[in-house]
Amino acid sequence: MKKNIFSILILALVIVNLVLTAIMMFSIVPASKKTNALVTKICSVLDLELEANVAETGEENIPIDQIATYDIADKITVNLKKDVDGEEHYAVFSVTLSMDKKNDGYKSYGEKIADKESLIKSEIIDVVSGFTLEEAQSNRDALQEALKQQLDKMFDSDFIIKVAFRDIVFQ
Protein backbone atom coordinates (compact mmCIF):
# COMPACT_ATOMS: atom_id res chain seq x y z
CA MET A 1 0.00 0.00 0.00
CA LYS A 2 2.87 2.36 0.79
CA LYS A 3 4.38 1.73 -2.64
CA ASN A 4 1.09 2.58 -4.28
CA ILE A 5 0.83 5.88 -2.33
CA PHE A 6 4.39 6.80 -3.35
CA SER A 7 3.60 6.02 -6.98
CA ILE A 8 0.48 8.20 -6.86
CA LEU A 9 2.44 10.99 -5.12
CA ILE A 10 5.21 10.83 -7.75
CA LEU A 11 2.62 10.81 -10.55
CA ALA A 12 0.89 13.85 -9.02
CA LEU A 13 4.21 15.72 -8.74
CA VAL A 14 5.06 14.89 -12.36
CA ILE A 15 1.67 16.18 -13.51
CA VAL A 16 2.08 19.38 -11.43
CA ASN A 17 5.56 19.85 -12.91
CA LEU A 18 4.20 19.34 -16.42
CA VAL A 19 1.40 21.87 -15.85
CA LEU A 20 3.77 24.47 -14.38
CA THR A 21 6.20 23.96 -17.29
CA ALA A 22 3.36 24.49 -19.78
CA ILE A 23 2.24 27.66 -17.99
CA MET A 24 5.80 28.93 -17.95
CA MET A 25 6.24 28.22 -21.67
CA PHE A 26 3.08 30.11 -22.59
CA SER A 27 3.94 33.10 -20.41
CA ILE A 28 7.71 33.43 -21.00
CA VAL A 29 8.15 32.51 -24.68
CA PRO A 30 6.04 35.41 -26.07
CA ALA A 31 7.83 37.87 -23.81
CA SER A 32 11.23 36.56 -24.87
CA LYS A 33 10.20 36.78 -28.53
CA LYS A 34 9.24 40.43 -28.03
CA THR A 35 12.53 41.11 -26.27
CA ASN A 36 14.44 39.38 -29.06
CA ALA A 37 12.62 41.48 -31.68
CA LEU A 38 13.43 44.67 -29.75
CA VAL A 39 17.11 43.74 -29.48
CA THR A 40 17.19 42.96 -33.21
CA LYS A 41 15.71 46.38 -34.03
CA ILE A 42 18.22 48.13 -31.79
CA CYS A 43 21.10 46.25 -33.41
CA SER A 44 19.89 47.14 -36.88
CA VAL A 45 19.63 50.83 -35.92
CA LEU A 46 23.15 50.77 -34.49
CA ASP A 47 24.45 49.12 -37.64
CA LEU A 48 22.78 51.81 -39.73
CA GLU A 49 24.41 54.51 -37.61
CA LEU A 50 27.81 52.90 -38.00
CA GLU A 51 27.37 52.60 -41.75
CA ALA A 52 26.19 56.21 -41.92
CA ASN A 53 29.27 57.37 -40.02
CA VAL A 54 31.51 55.49 -42.46
CA ALA A 55 29.68 57.13 -45.36
CA GLU A 56 29.97 60.59 -43.80
CA THR A 57 33.64 60.42 -42.88
CA GLY A 58 34.74 58.27 -45.79
CA GLU A 59 36.68 56.14 -43.37
CA GLU A 60 36.49 52.43 -43.53
CA ASN A 61 38.37 49.65 -41.88
CA ILE A 62 41.46 49.08 -43.97
CA PRO A 63 43.74 46.22 -42.91
CA ILE A 64 47.09 47.37 -41.53
CA ASP A 65 49.02 45.45 -44.19
CA GLN A 66 47.18 47.49 -46.84
CA ILE A 67 48.34 50.83 -45.40
CA ALA A 68 51.53 52.53 -46.56
CA THR A 69 52.95 55.51 -44.71
CA TYR A 70 55.06 58.39 -45.91
CA ASP A 71 56.90 60.56 -43.41
CA ILE A 72 57.72 64.09 -44.46
CA ALA A 73 61.20 64.23 -43.00
CA ASP A 74 61.56 67.97 -42.46
CA LYS A 75 59.87 69.72 -39.58
CA ILE A 76 57.40 72.29 -40.81
CA THR A 77 57.14 75.67 -39.11
CA VAL A 78 53.93 77.61 -39.73
CA ASN A 79 52.74 81.05 -38.62
CA LEU A 80 49.27 80.55 -37.21
CA LYS A 81 46.41 82.97 -37.82
CA LYS A 82 46.39 85.80 -35.27
CA ASP A 83 44.17 85.19 -32.29
CA VAL A 84 42.23 87.80 -30.32
CA ASP A 85 45.37 88.54 -28.30
CA GLY A 86 47.07 89.85 -31.48
CA GLU A 87 50.34 88.02 -30.85
CA GLU A 88 52.21 85.90 -33.37
CA HIS A 89 51.91 82.16 -32.73
CA TYR A 90 53.71 79.30 -34.42
CA ALA A 91 53.28 75.58 -34.89
CA VAL A 92 56.25 73.28 -35.47
CA PHE A 93 55.47 69.71 -36.49
CA SER A 94 56.23 66.78 -38.74
CA VAL A 95 53.60 65.02 -40.82
CA THR A 96 52.93 61.39 -41.68
CA LEU A 97 50.56 60.45 -44.49
CA SER A 98 48.77 57.08 -44.32
CA MET A 99 47.75 55.76 -47.73
CA ASP A 100 45.62 52.89 -49.01
CA LYS A 101 47.87 50.71 -51.21
CA LYS A 102 44.92 49.19 -53.09
CA ASN A 103 43.42 52.52 -54.09
CA ASP A 104 43.87 53.55 -57.74
CA GLY A 105 45.23 56.93 -56.65
CA TYR A 106 48.04 55.21 -54.75
CA LYS A 107 49.10 53.46 -57.93
CA SER A 108 49.24 56.85 -59.68
CA TYR A 109 50.70 59.09 -56.96
CA GLY A 110 51.53 57.11 -53.84
CA GLU A 111 54.65 55.35 -55.04
CA LYS A 112 56.08 58.66 -56.30
CA ILE A 113 54.80 60.85 -53.49
CA ALA A 114 58.33 61.95 -52.56
CA ASP A 115 58.44 63.85 -55.88
CA LYS A 116 55.42 65.89 -54.74
CA GLU A 117 56.71 66.60 -51.22
CA SER A 118 57.21 70.34 -51.79
CA LEU A 119 53.65 70.69 -53.12
CA ILE A 120 52.33 68.73 -50.14
CA LYS A 121 54.25 70.97 -47.73
CA SER A 122 52.82 74.05 -49.42
CA GLU A 123 49.26 72.73 -49.04
CA ILE A 124 49.92 71.84 -45.39
CA ILE A 125 51.25 75.33 -44.67
CA ASP A 126 48.25 76.94 -46.38
CA VAL A 127 45.76 74.90 -44.35
CA VAL A 128 47.48 75.14 -40.96
CA SER A 129 48.06 78.89 -41.29
CA GLY A 130 44.27 79.34 -41.47
CA PHE A 131 43.86 78.11 -37.88
CA THR A 132 44.39 80.14 -34.72
CA LEU A 133 46.43 78.82 -31.81
CA GLU A 134 43.28 78.04 -29.82
CA GLU A 135 41.61 76.23 -32.74
CA ALA A 136 44.71 74.18 -33.53
CA GLN A 137 45.29 73.15 -29.92
CA SER A 138 41.70 72.36 -29.01
CA ASN A 139 40.58 70.64 -32.20
CA ARG A 140 43.48 68.77 -33.74
CA ASP A 141 41.09 66.32 -35.44
CA ALA A 142 39.48 69.14 -37.44
CA LEU A 143 42.93 70.33 -38.49
CA GLN A 144 43.92 66.84 -39.64
CA GLU A 145 40.61 66.41 -41.49
CA ALA A 146 41.05 69.78 -43.23
CA LEU A 147 44.55 68.70 -44.32
CA LYS A 148 43.24 65.37 -45.61
CA GLN A 149 40.46 67.07 -47.59
CA GLN A 150 42.91 69.56 -49.12
CA LEU A 151 45.33 66.78 -50.12
CA ASP A 152 42.45 64.72 -51.55
CA LYS A 153 41.49 67.76 -53.61
CA MET A 154 45.08 68.34 -54.70
CA PHE A 155 45.57 64.76 -55.90
CA ASP A 156 41.94 64.43 -57.07
CA SER A 157 41.86 61.09 -55.26
CA ASP A 158 41.11 59.68 -51.82
CA PHE A 159 44.09 57.34 -51.47
CA ILE A 160 45.29 59.30 -48.41
CA ILE A 161 43.32 57.87 -45.52
CA LYS A 162 44.84 59.84 -42.65
CA VAL A 163 47.12 62.77 -41.92
CA ALA A 164 48.94 62.48 -38.60
CA PHE A 165 51.15 64.92 -36.72
CA ARG A 166 54.42 63.88 -35.10
CA ASP A 167 56.15 66.02 -32.50
CA ILE A 168 53.74 68.94 -32.73
CA VAL A 169 54.63 72.02 -30.68
CA PHE A 170 52.64 75.24 -30.44
CA GLN A 171 54.00 78.57 -29.27
Cβ–Cβ < 8 Å for 91, 80: yes
Polymer length of the chain? 171
CA angle 167, 157, 104 (to 5 degrees): 105
Based on the number of CB atoms within 10 Å of its own CB, is 106 exposed (0-12), middle (13-18) or buried (19 or more)? buried
What pLDDT shows up at residue 47?
73
Residues of the chain with pLDDT under 70: 1, 48-60
What pLDDT shows up at residue 10?
93
C-alpha to C-alpha distance for 140 and 40, rounded to whole angstroms: 37
Whether domain 64-170 has CATH 3.30.479.30: the reply is yes
What pLDDT shows up at residue 12?
95
Cβ–Cβ < 8 Å for 72, 96: yes
What pLDDT shows up at residue 53?
54
Q: Could you tell me the pTM of the whole model?
A: 0.62
What pLDDT shows up at residue 18?
96
Domain positions in the chain are 1-57, 64-170
What pLDDT shows up at residue 116?
84
C-alpha to C-alpha distance for 92 and 78, rounded to whole angstroms: 7
What pLDDT shows up at residue 59?
53
Q: What is the CA radius of gyration of the chain?
A: 32
